[in-house]
């Protein structure tokens, strides 16, 4: 669709239709089997929001998305397609090493190729946008999201982030929209505590934490996601100086700014907005185009525009950016583009995963242990020796049935080894969460361990 046609479409849309493009809903409102990645608020969205919502997260599957898209476009006054997004972090069906591991490969071309394969698998199952790459400089090992970034070095984050964007955003039906996150400074949260504030100097912030974004923006990502944290006591999702002044005006970003889950509504919790209306005003003035699952835009934006508290031009600008993103993905020409076109877990895809895993390995010290001798017996201890849960927790669409267990591989290679549970490092409750089965025995743990050791012939 040409730009003037998009502009004409925007002029014909009602205020509710435009606001709908600025709201992202979780897939539970469209499909009960959708993946949840956060807490859903207590208030249900108005019916018109569900009817006009511009994007959906957490739904995957060719037939499922075909059905939802067909029904949605049929009832939409201008037949505007949905865009389906999800957390495709280090692979879709074929899973690659976590981004922190990929950084250890120092091989951006291979990282880009893995992202390209992930995009092909994702688009084949209906997803056209991912919330990746995460390029938060991460230096506190206590922070639970370190595995999702490329580590502590700004330059490595920038190089790998750009490589991933290039891989995701292929110029064909297999391409998906990439999203740089989280802008900015999220990796510097105090004490490594999630959602905490960030207290750093302006120079450190710009030279180290903004630098990866400055580098990766050269790949022209479709989206940038706001961070939960505050910088200089000002939360990012309502920070006009950072989003409009730095990101758009200085760095020249022309794509779509999307909030993280509920972060606009969180402005009230953070004490900078008196209520949801004020949160919506701050985010809109800052230039946040899509509100991901907070009540702010869906419940307040229409009233704020009609009362003149938010200029209608802000809504027009944001809605148009969302339409532009859909147009760049070819969704107006073919809302089902890419569906069913790519195989998953193919031999080629698995070989690339194996290659990247090999190049991501880091040997810190070798005290005459490696390579392992076939003349010695090897013990593998831990609750994961017989588990297929080896894909990490940010591989929500990975298929565990295809994973070979450590025990199975050892037997296949005819390597003499003993696999035991060892000390139960997980509680019973953690085992349920992580779907790991621990061996049960009447004997004390020390006796279970000692029975497997046969003197000096064991490694």
Q: Report, as residue numbers or ranges, the catalytic residues.
A: 260
For residue 458, list its beta bridge partners. Answer: 377
- Could you tell me how many residues make up the chain? 459
Pairing of strands 256-258, 230-231: unpaired
**Element at 116 (helix H, strand E):** helix 108-124
Q: Which residues, including other chains, have CB under 8 Å from residue 241's CB and lie 6 or more apart?
A: 234
Q: Nearest CA to 198 among 189, 206, 207?
A: 189
CA–CA distance, 382 with 419 (Å, rounded to integer): 8
- Angle at CA 65, nearest 5°, toward 97 and 265? 75
User: Residue written as tokens 């001798």?
Assistant: 373
CA–CA distance, 31 with 60 (Å, rounded to integer): 10
**Element at 216 (helix H, strand E):** helix 211-216
Q: What is the Cα 226 distance to its own chain's centre?
A: 13
User: Residue written as tokens 């912030």?
Assistant: 205
Cβ neighbour number for residue 454 with a 10 Å cutoff: 11
DSSP assignment of 406-426, as one string? Answer: HHHHHHHTT--EEEE--S--S
The beta strands (E) that lie in 68-146 are given as 83-86, 129-130
Please answer whether residues 87 and 137 qualify as being in contact, where contact means their C-beta atoms are separated by less than 8 angstroms.
no
Among the residues of 262-361, which ranges form H helices? Answer: 266-269, 276-286, 295-306, 312-328, 347-360
The beta strands (E) that lie in 363-438 are given as 378-381, 417-420
**Element at 122 (helix H, strand E):** helix 108-124
Angle between helices 295-306 and 276-286 (to 10 degrees): 80
């Amino acid at each position: 669709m040409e730009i003037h046609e998009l502009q004409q479409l925007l002029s014909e849309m009602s205020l509710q239709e435009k606001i709908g493009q600025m709201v992202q809903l979780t897939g539970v409102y469209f499909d009960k089997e959708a993946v949840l990645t956060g807490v859903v608020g207590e208030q249900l969205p108005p019916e018109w929001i569900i009817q006009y919502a511009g994007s959906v997260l957490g739904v995957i599957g060719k037939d499922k998305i075909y059905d939802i898209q067909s029904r949605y476009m049929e009832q939409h006054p201008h037949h505007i397609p949905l865009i389906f997004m999800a957390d495709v972090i280090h692979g879709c069906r074929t899973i690659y090493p976590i981004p922190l591991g990929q950084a250890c490969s120092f091989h951006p071309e291979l990282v880009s190729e893995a992202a390209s394969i992930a995009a092909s698998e994702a688009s084949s199952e209906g997803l056209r946008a991912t919330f990746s790459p995460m390029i938060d400089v991460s230096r506190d090992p206590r922070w639970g999201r370190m595995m999702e970034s490329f580590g502590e070095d700004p330059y490595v984050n920038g190089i790998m982030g750009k490589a991933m964007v290039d891989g995701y955003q292929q110029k064909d039906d297999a391409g998906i929209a990439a999203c740089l996150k989280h802008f900015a400074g999220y990796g510097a949260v105090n004490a490594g505590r999630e959602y905490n504030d960030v207290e750093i100097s302006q120079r450190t912030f710009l030279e180290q934490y903004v630098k990866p974004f400055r580098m990766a923006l050269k790949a022209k990502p479709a989206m940038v996601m706001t961070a939960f944290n505050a910088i200089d006591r000002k939360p990012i999702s309502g920070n006009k100086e950072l989003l409009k002044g730095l990101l758009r005006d200085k760095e020249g970003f022309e794509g779509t700014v999307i909030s993280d889950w509920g972060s606009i509504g969180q402005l009230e919790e953070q004490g900078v907005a008196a209520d949801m209306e004020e949160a919506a005003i701050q985010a809109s003035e800052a230039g946040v185009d899509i509100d991901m699952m907070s009540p702010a835009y869906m419940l307040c934006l229409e009233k704020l525009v009609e009362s003149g508290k938010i200029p209608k031009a802000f809504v027009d600008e944001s809605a148009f950016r969302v339409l532009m993103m859909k147009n760049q993905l070819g969704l107006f020409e073919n809302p089902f583009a890419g569906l069913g076109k790519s195989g998953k877990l193919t031999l080629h895809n698995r070989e690339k995963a194996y290659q990247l895993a090999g190049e991501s390995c880091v040997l810190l010290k070798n005290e005459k242990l490696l390579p392992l001798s076939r003349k010695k017996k090897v013990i593998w201890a831990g609750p994961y020796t017989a588990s297929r849960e080896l894909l990490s927790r940010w591989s929500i669409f990975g298929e565990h049935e295809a994973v070979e267990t450590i025990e199975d591989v050892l037997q296949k290679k005819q390597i003499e080894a003993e696999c035991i549970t060892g000390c139960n490092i997980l509680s019973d409750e953690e085992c349920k969460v992580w779907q790991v089965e621990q061996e049960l025995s009447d004997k004390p743990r020390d006796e279970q361990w000692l029975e497997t050791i046969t003197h000096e012939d064991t490694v």
